[in-house]
């Protein structure tokens, strides 16, 4: 089966198709993780994006029941150099080709992923069309032109109804209001295993309803899209942030910055991978972190609004974490839950729990 990747600037890349036969338009990004494709593809923050994996062999340990970050693949497509159709792993229940078919997601392989990655690094992420159902280049070009990229995916990725998740560990139970923008399962696990009773609120739930549960803490999740498009969430967050200990991860961090009156901006090609070095100013230590974001918080804009930059990306100097000077608010741009990635940053969940128990930031 022939497949096509058409980029907005007219570049045409051909390869072999796998997965579900269809055509999708999305933002072409790259991820440098050497493992973790199942967790990456099911991370809701990738909604609207077509992922090029820089690691050359994808699918070699198959698909398992235990590696999902949500109930489906959120990414719009997968681009790989080589796909393994005969995986080897005791947990494997199917291969990646079968899984993409079941999840109705298209794939293209036998393409030069280094060329694509270099192009994105030099020129930035780009709108593209992935198709493995035999459409013409002209048709791809037309689709690319006619389909705008959306910014407010978080509204679709968030929970549709309010729900409660009971703690799975810990002894001193704390009630946490979770503002959902498309949360990863491992973030919820990180909180519930430490004694949090999680009250998950759909996108746009009003401040009064959130605070009516009398939470011990507020948590803002990760999520897809442009944080500036989450206008309702920014307004609600402004009303409640810091009334009780407040912690945000990735999109949650960006929304806290915007609610504080700061600014966010789009990075040229984002940070997506499992080995991004981050410097923690408070502890004077560096950590290897898991990351997936296309936007970042403008450092000067938050400093003026009472925030302090606590973490810095060691590759490009962008903001990776912040805290409020007076209120119990802190956040990180990267993923302490890892999944996929190193577990070195799980201590941030403990920090949040500690704050809810009366500890200081
Ligand atoms: N993982 C996330 O929460 C990503 C946040 C936002 N969608 C970004 O790309 O910057």
Measured CA distances, 23 to 16, 143, 263 (Å): 14, 9, 35
**Is residue 361 predicted with pLDDT exceeding 80?**
no
The pLDDT value recorded for residue 311 is 98
If we measure between CA atoms, which residue out of 323, 191, 357 comes closest to residue 253?
323
Classified as helix, coil or strand, 314 is coil
**DSSP assigned state of 227:** G
Which is catalytic among the residues 128, 144, 196, 250?
Answer: 250
Mean pLDDT of 133-145: 98
The pLDDT value recorded for residue 1 is 73
* pLDDT tens digits for range 159-180: 999 999 999 999 899 999 999 9
Which residues have C-beta within 8 Å of that of residue 344, sequence separation ≥ 6? Answer: 287, 288, 289
Please report which confidence band the pLDDT of residue 242 belongs to, taking 50, 70 and 90 as the band edges: very high
**Is residue 360 predicted with pLDDT exceeding 90?**
no
Give the separation between CA 294 and CA 303, rounded to whole angstroms: 21
Mean pLDDT of 227-235: 98
Which residues belong to CATH 3.40.50.880 in the chain? 154-356
CA 136 centroid distance within chain: 32
Which residues have C-beta within 8 Å of that of residue 317, sequence separation ≥ 6? Answer: none
Which residues belong to CATH 3.50.30.20 in the chain? 2-146
Task: State the distance from the centre of ligand 1 to the C-alpha of 334, rounded, in angstroms.
Answer: 9
Asked if the 2-146 domain carries CATH number 3.50.30.20, the reply is: yes
Annotation says 199 is catalytic:
no
Mean pLDDT of 49-61: 98
What's the mean per-residue pLDDT of the chain? 97
The pLDDT value recorded for residue 298 is 98
Annotation says 311 is catalytic:
no
Please report which confidence band the pLDDT of residue 113 belongs to, taking 50, 70 and 90 as the band edges: very high
Q: DSSP labels for 173-197?
A: -EEEEEE-SS--HHHHHHHHTTTEE
The region of weakest confidence among 129-133, 245-249, 304-308 is 304-308
Please report which confidence band the pLDDT of residue 359 belongs to, taking 50, 70 and 90 as the band edges: confident
Strand pairing category for 264-280 and 307-313? antiparallel
Of all atoms in ligand 1, which is nearest to the CA of residue 224?
7
Percent pLDDT > 90 in the chain is 98
CATH class of the 154-356 domain in this structure: alpha beta
Of all atoms in ligand 1, which is nearest to the CA of residue 153?
7
Task: State the distance from the centre of ligand 1 to the C-alpha of 248, rounded, in angstroms.
Answer: 12
Annotation says 92 is catalytic:
no
φ, ψ (nearest 5 deg) of residue 233:
-65, -40
């Amino acid at each position: 089966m022939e497949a096509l990747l058409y980029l907005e600037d007219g570049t045409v890349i051909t390869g072999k198709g796998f997965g579900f036969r269809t055509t999708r338009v999305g933002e072409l990004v790259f991820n440098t993780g050497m493992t973790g494709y199942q967790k990456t593809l099911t991370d809701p923050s990738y909604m609207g994006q077509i992922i090029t994996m820089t690691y050359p062999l994808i699918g070699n340990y198959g698909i398992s029941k235990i590696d999902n970050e949500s109930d489906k693949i959120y990414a719009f497509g997968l681009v790989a150099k080589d796909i393994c159709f005969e995986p080897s792993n005791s947990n494997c229940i199917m291969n990646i080709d079968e899984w993409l078919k079941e999840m109705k997601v298209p794939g293209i392989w036998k393409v030069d992923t280094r060329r694509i990655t270099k192009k994105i690094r030099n020129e930035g992420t780009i709108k593209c069309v992935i198709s493995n159902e035999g459409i013409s280049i002209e048709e791809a070009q037309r689709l690319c032109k006619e389909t705008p990229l959306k910014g407010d995916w978080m509204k679709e990725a968030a929970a549709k109804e309010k729900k409660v998740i009971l703690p799975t560990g810990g002894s001193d139970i704390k009630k946490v209001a979770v503002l959902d923008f498309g949360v990863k399962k491992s973030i919820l696990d990180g909180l519930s295993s430490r004694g949090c009773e999680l009250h998950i609120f759909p996108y746009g739930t009003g401040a009064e309803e959130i605070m009516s549960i009398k939470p011990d803490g507020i948590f803002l999740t990760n999520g897809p899209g442009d944080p500036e498009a989450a206008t309702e969430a920014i307004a609600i967050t402004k009303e409640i942030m810091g009334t009780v200990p407040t912690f945000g991860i990735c999109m949650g961090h960006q929304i806290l910055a915007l609610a504080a009156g700061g600014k966010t901006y789009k990075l040229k090609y984002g940070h997506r991978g499992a080995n991004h070095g981050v410097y923690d100013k408070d502890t004077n230590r560096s950590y290897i972190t898991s990351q997936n974001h296309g936007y970042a918080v403008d450092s000067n804009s938050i400093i003026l609004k009472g925030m302090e930059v606590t973490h810095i990306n060691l590759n490009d100097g962008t903001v990776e974490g912040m805290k409020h000077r007076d209120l119990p608010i802190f956040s990180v741009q990267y993923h302490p839950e890892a999944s996929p990635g190193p577990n070195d940053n799980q201590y941030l969940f403990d920090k949040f729990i500690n704050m809810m128990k009366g500890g200081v930031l």
